[in-house]
Homo-oligomer: A and B are copies of this chain.
Amino acid sequence: MDGTTARPTARARSWWGWGWTDAHPGDAECVAMGALLPGTLARPLPVPRVRDLDVRGPAVEAPQSLAHLVSADPADRAAHAMGKAYRDVARALRGQPGRIPDLVARPADEQGVADLLEWAGDRRIAVVPYGGGSSVSGGVEYRGDAHRAVLSLDLTAMGRVLDVDTAGRAARIQAGALGPGLEDQLRPHGLTLRHFPQSFEFSTLGGWLATRAGGHYATGRTHIDDFVQSMRVVTPAGTSGSWRLPASGAGPSPDRLFLGSEGALGVITEAWMRLQERPRHKASAAVAFSDFTAALRAVRDLAQSDLAPANCRLLDPGEAALSGAAHDGCSVLVLGFESAYEPVAGRLARAVELARSHGGRHDGSTGAGRGRGEAPAGDAAVSAWRAAFLRMPYLRDGLVRMGAVAETFETAATWDRVPALIDEVRGEVGAAALKATGHPATVNCRLTHVYPDGAAPYFTVLAAGRPGGEVALWDDLKAVAGEVLHRHRATITHHHAVGRDHRPGYDRQRPEPFALALRAAKGALDPRGILNPGVLVD
């Protein structure tokens, strides 16, 4: 995905589900999908309407000086009540969304953010920073009742690229820039951030930074963290601005404390980001493996080589079938190379050869793109995977309308843990779903990012629901998965963030002295505890 797709104007965002309403599958497509999953409903649940919700009036009113930044519109508020996790969509479909914020604020600049925080601090109002709203871990939802009111702080009115340093390949970008708008503003300079998470259209730079998002690159510098030159963060204790530096050894990195802070320590307002020239050379290929374990070894060797593929995604047989990359029970390795400087066909050929040495089969067809940011023409499996990748969240919501449990989660672990980890997640989550529903479930896996020392397995779970009890069923299945992750000391999240949903796993994973330090830092920066309460620390 390259941000070049022309976007029709005036498309409507869904308040309850993924993305654009006009991209949602219709009832007939929902029924067709449901038919493939035993135990789902015969008819889809109706699309939920805000007017059917009991949206009470806001508990507070903004002062005159801030009124122009604030909306109390019920539809606006409902659309900011939750992120887009399975449990969010399922709750909305059942007419039981999370707590609807009292107000939505859209500051236009850093001073507006500071003013809103000051007002909220004085009034004990919880402030939930909100970018594109694509959180899949309960990161933008208020839970509890310790605050007088809840303010959703929507940053998307701050979406400009403010400065571009062409020679130094960097840009100062406001935190509320959504992916496509950000790339649109960089394109005239011949530069790109090249951060393309699945949520690209519906997530912001600030959200990526606050959650340590993973993006385009499957190897090397996979997380947004590595592309940060400096950041500005508004906290109730003052505004933090780090210097633009290519590197520094002066004490612990200030930026690394705010990266991953998920709105609990401050509100990121802008960052100088490291950019790249747009790639002029691309090549891709798909390699099939009969033996998933052999494929894992091939991918490990690739990650430990100096080939540095931009894409190196291994789909297990179920995932390959689901995305249309293969239907013969094979695993598929999707490889992609790109460079702004010189042809990459040689690197692709070496990678394919390496995969072959582990039993991979490649029919000889490769895709090569040359031009300004076009998606490469790949062979059929690559194209199928790419199209499915972007359509997946919409289809997920269609399945949820059929009463299914349909969700993903991800982790990362060292290579010695990866094979058993994948087996046990598939086995134990599948068994738990079968026991709970009486129907076999689908539990697929792909590796989204790979490293010399390990990999990030990404799981898809599709199961029949329990009418009215889908969310509790999912929570149970997720708890089973969490136990497997903990047993293998695999991280509770590689790039989906902690939010509120991953707190139990995060609290077990985080070293206790670091928890002490983080709580102390939170107390110093947010002494009244208004910033995204419940995220990371209590």
Contact = CB atoms under 8 A, between A and B. Distances in A.
Give the one of A248, A262, A516 with max B CB within 10 A.
Answer: A248
Contacts of A248: 412, 491, 493-494
B240 A168 contact: no
Interface string A497-512: 1100010011001111
Interface in A257-290: 257-262, 265-266, 274, 276-277
Given A517-B525, A524-B519, A249 B254 contact: no
Contact of A250 (B167, B340, B454, B498): B498
Interface residues of A, number: 93
A252 B247 contact: no
Contacts of A505: 250
A251 interface: yes
A455 interface: yes
**How many copies of this chain are found per oligomer?**
2
A520 interface: yes
A201 B430 CA distance: 54
A249 B453 contact: no
Nearest to A344: B306
B413 A245 contact: yes
A199 to B, nearest CB: 14
Contacts of A254: 510-511, 514
Given A248-B491, A453-B229, A525 B513 contact: yes
Contacts of A261: 251-252
A492 interface: yes
Interface stretch (A36-44, A67-75, A127-135, A206-214): A206-214
A223 interface: yes
Give the one of A258, A453, A510 with max B CB within 10 A.
Answer: A453
Given A233-B513, A511-B240, A249 B493 contact: yes
Interface string A447-465: 0010111111000000000
A171 B219 CA distance: 21
A242 B451 CA distance: 18
Interface string A77-121: 000000000000000000000000000000000000000000000
A304 interface: yes
A261 B514 CA distance: 13
A467 interface: no
A110 to B, nearest CB: 13
A153 interface: no
A314 to B, nearest CB: 15
Nearest to A416: B168
A510 B250 contact: yes
Contact of A247 (B247, B451, B498): B451
B252 A223 contact: no
B251 A414 contact: no
B252 A495 contact: no
A258 B513 CA distance: 11
B414 A170 contact: yes
A496 B456 contact: no
Given A235-B513, A250-B498, A489 B244 contact: yes
B454 A246 contact: yes
A365 interface: no
B247 A454 contact: yes
A253 interface: yes
Interface string A301-325: 0001110000000000000000000
A57 interface: no
A518 B251 contact: yes
A518 B247 CA distance: 20
A243 interface: yes
A115 to B, nearest CB: 17
Contacts of A213: 249
A222 interface: yes
B536 A491 contact: no
Interface string A216-256: 00000011000001000101011111111111111111101
Nearest to A506: B250
A223 B253 CA distance: 12
A523 interface: yes
B513 A240 contact: yes
Nearest to A410: B249
A415 to B, nearest CB: 4
Nearest to A225: B253
9 contacts: A214-B249, A240-B514, A242-B514, A246-B412, A251-B260, A251-B510, A251-B518, A254-B514, A274-B452
